[in-house]
Amino acid sequence: MTKFSKGRTAIALSGGVDSSTAGALLLEEGREVVGITLQLHGASTEGLEQAETAARHLGIQHFVLNLTDDFEKLVLRPAWKEYILGRTPCPCMRCNERIKFGILMDWALENGCSALATGHYAIVASEGGQARLLRGRDKNKDQSYFLAGLSQERLSHSVFPLGSLEKRQVRKKAAELGLPCAERKESQDICFVMPGMSFPETLQAHFGDISVQSKGFIIDWEGRQLAQHEGIHNFTIGQRRGVRVGTGTRAWVCRLDAATGSVYLTNAEEDLLCEEITVSDLSWTTSEPPAMPMECEVQVRYRSVPTAASLTNFSDGCGRLDFRQPVRSAAPGQAAVFYNGDMVIGRGYIHQTFR
């Protein structure tokens, strides 16, 4: 097993502008840095070659960790199961918790590194002897939402060099350093997407045909069956584009019924609003769970506006959120992330929504 000298920082190196620049900033701080690239799927070597090029440019050791089987087991297959149950999974969050800050971090720590750095736009600050997860400075790139499931232990070994920078500053820095990725386009948020396919379509192609029960009809607000569809995995709450049926007016997906395969539409945006949701699998960034009930701001999707709410913990690992103002398009399976200003308190997965 590879053993690094104690105190080194591992950088999760994809070869893109964010991770490469993050590695360069660590070197400028005087840290010893080693690059580790995750091989998560497929036979393509393009990503690995980009990472190797970046490592050579930075002058750091580079290792490849093949986690293809773990990625399928811990991220892809659970996401597919969620889709065919009529839920909308959050694979990036699962990947962060189970793969990047799970298996990868464990590997790095076991081999002598003291911390794992990534190119996420978020901040870890020390306060009162605890690690605090904060929003990144660039509000358009802030990725604290996807890191909300990291425990205090994981955060204490995490470094985010880009957290205090804006994207334009990162690109400028990469250009100044002559990094080959400086002008490269943004990579896909989803690490496993076949060309020309959506993430659920890719999962269907990977795992095989869906069950007959997942297929059904698209039904409008008057109960009319408009058309058959090829699987509820292709839809999510609040979706307007890509429904592929003519209604003569704007319409949104408002409900999915996994038992019948029915996709229900509405022409009234207020049908997408809910005032209460239940959440499961609660997780906290703090060393101890907060006192309940807890007042906080909540994001029910990555790009949603934070909304004031009260969280009540009514059973082990589950809770209820009561919102001060209704939230739009909360989808079962997505993460509800709890904030106190810019600080992340924790997260839960949306179980049910109520109007």
Dihedral angle of Cα 218, 224, 226, 231, to the nearest 10 degrees: 20
Chain-centre distance of CA 43, in angstroms? 24
- Concerning whether 191 is annotated as a catalytic residue, the answer is yes
- Concerning whether 95 is annotated as a catalytic residue, the answer is yes
Catalytic residue among 90, 92, 181, 191: 191
Can you tell me the distance from the alpha carbon of 76 to that of 273, in angstroms, rounded to the nearest whole number? 29
Q: The tokens 């106190």 sit on which residue? A: 340
Q: Token digits for 136?
A: 């990144």
- Residue 280: what are its φ and ψ, rounded to 5°? -130, 170
Catalytic residue among 90, 95, 274, 296: 95
Q: Active-site positions?
A: 95, 191
